Amino acid sequence: MKLKLILADGTEFIGDSFGYHPTEESCLGEVVFNTSMTGYQEILSDPSYCDQMVVMTYPLIGNYGVNRDDFESLTPALKALIVREHCEEPNNWRNETKLSELLTHFKIPAIQGIDTRQLTRIIRMHGSMKAIIVSEKTDKSKYKELLAQNLGNDQIARVSTQKPAHHPGDGHRIVLVDYGYKKNILKSLLKRKCDVIVVPYNTSFEEITRYHPDGILLSNGPGDPKDIPETLETIRKIQERYPLFCICMGHQVFALANGADTEKMKFGHRGANHPVLDLKTEKVFITSQNHGYAVKSESIAKTHLEITQINLNDKTVEGLKHKKYPAFSVQYHPEANPGPDDTHWLFDEFLESVFKNEVARAKV
């Protein structure tokens, strides 16, 4: 079955469907590209891709299939997958399901056979943009109306947990504030024997304190950080009382809560090989990233924050820390494995700050 991808600028691509087949329905989303060579299952299940159509720049996707262990969430939130070539017969010892079967099950449209290099160049030149996927039989007169639809700004509310969940452990109690967290963030804490409570993104400071946490982690998530202003006062109260670690979306709202500013990037950072320089150690880390907004570096000067890490490709802010409180953040995903373990130490640094805070409080 043939499907059409129509960009907001009017560019059209025609390809073959290998996922869910929309008939009279249309699929609306923001088209972005990811440069990872592997990890398509993690990308598909990352809640940060909510409302987005992901173009994989690596040409062959699906060759190692899908397995039960590599999901980052139970239900994919992305709108569509776009590839050059889909592998019909995966071959890997961990393979349990074909990629096409997974996409069909979750009703996610997917297109193969289009020129993904040309599509990526368009995004790089003009920026991420809205697009629709329709059946080739869809009347062209409807395209403009379909593209005029609003994507909304409630992505975090849709992917965040609806009620608290407890994941027992014998170590420090960490409250994980869920803006759309990836499973590996939770696993990274549990691996270190933490007792973890996952709470909705809009949980109040008073509710968080009732869990008697030792530290707080703000997770990754989709969309614009300025869409959740109601969380900023909570973050300001948290950092004054508890050690705080912030990842990706958490990094951005941490910056906003402290008076910095954020901006939408032209086409974002999405891939598994982004070089990040630590300004203190002068070490370079290979990082996995997925974000379309960034903290404006010039806005940091007026705050109590300092920049700790920068992206070597475009000099954007990759790390922050508070000058007064034990609170810090990174824009990338330390729970991922691009290096493969370049930045896992950040979880240990966070828990070290939790331990030091407990010692300090015991002396009071």
Q: Tell me the pLDDT tens digit for each residue of 179-209.
A: 999 999 999 999 999 999 999 999 999 999 9
User: Which residue is listed with tokens 């910056």?
Assistant: 255
Listed in order, strand segments (DSSP E) in 209-304 are 215-218, 244-247, 262-278, 284-295
Task: Mark whether 25 and 83 lie in a shared domain.
Answer: yes
Same domain, 306 and 185: yes
pLDDT bin (cut points 50, 70, 90) of residue 1 is: confident
**pLDDT of res. 256:** 98
Q: Provide the pLDDT for residue 219.
A: 98
Q: What is the pLDDT of residue 261?
A: 98
- 335 a catalytic residue: yes
235 and 254 co-located in one domain: yes
Judge if 229 and 286 occupy the same domain: yes
| Residue 121 confidence (pLDDT) | 98
Asked if pLDDT for residue 24 goes beyond 90, the answer is no
For the beta sheet containing 195-200, the strands, ordered from the edge strand earlier in sequence to the opposite edge, are 165-167, 195-200, 173-178, 215-218, 244-247, 327-330, 317-322, 305-311, 262-278, 284-295
The dihedral sign for the CA sequence 68, 59, 27, 289:
positive
Mean pLDDT of 242-270: 98
Boundary residue ending a domain (147, 165, 183): 147
In angstroms, the CA 22 to CA 3 distance is 8
What mean pLDDT value characterizes the chain? 96
What whole-number distance in Å separates Cα of residue 125 and Cα of residue 266? 9
The parent domain of residue 206 ranges over 155-363
Task: Name the active-site residue from 172, 194, 248, 274.
Answer: 248
Tell me, what CATH number does 228's domain have? 3.40.50.880
Last residue of a domain, one of 147, 165, 198: 147
Query: Residue 276 corresponds to which tokens in the numbers above?
Result: 């990040």
Give pLDDT, residue 358: 87
Q: What is the pLDDT of residues 269-279, one digit of tens each?
A: 999 999 999 99
Question: Are 39 and 162 part of one and the same domain?
Answer: no
In this structure, are 21 and 142 located in the same domain?
yes
User: ω before 340 within 30° of 0 (cis)?
Assistant: yes
Q: What is the pLDDT of residues 30-61, one digit of tens each?
A: 999 999 999 999 999 999 999 999 999 999 99
62-78 in b/e form (b: 16+ CB < 10 A) is bbbbbeeebbbbeebbb
Q: Are residues 6 and 29 in contact, defined by beta-carbon separation less than 8 angstroms?
A: no
Assessment of whether the complete model's pTM goes beyond 0.85:
yes
Q: What is the pLDDT of residues 288-311, one digit of tens each?
A: 999 999 999 999 999 999 999 999
Do 352 and 295 share a structural domain?
yes
Domain-ending residue, one of 129, 147, 165:
147
Alpha carbon distances (Å) from 231 to 178, 205, 235, 244, 304: 12, 9, 6, 14, 19
Indicate the pLDDT class of residue 362, thresholds 50, 70 and 90: confident
pLDDT of 168 reads 98
Q: Say if residue 138 is in the same domain as residue 165.
A: no
Spatial separation of the C-alpha atoms in residues 250 and 321, rounded to whole Å: 13
Same-domain status, 270 and 193: yes
User: Is the pLDDT confidence value at 176 over 80?
Assistant: yes
| pLDDT of res. 234 | 98
Q: Is 343 helix (H, G, I), strand (E, B) or coil?
A: coil
| Total tally of structural domains belonging to the chain | 2
Same domain, 143 and 254: no
> Would you call 333 a catalytic residue per the annotation?
yes
Q: Are residues 34 and 109 in the same domain?
A: yes
The tokens for 69 are 């262990």
pLDDT at 364: 62
Helix 249-257 with 232-241: angle, nearest 10 deg: 90
Q: In the 8-state DSSP scheme, what is residue 298?
A: G
CATH of the domain at 84: 3.50.30.20
**CA 271 to the chain's CA centroid:** 11
Residues 160 and 206 in one domain: yes
Q: Is residue 87 among the annotated active site residues?
A: no
Tell me: pLDDT of 350 over 80.
yes
Confidence label for 22 from pLDDT (cuts 50, 70 and 90): low
Residue-wise pLDDT tens digits, 89-134: 999 999 999 999 999 999 999 999 999 999 999 999 999 999 999 9
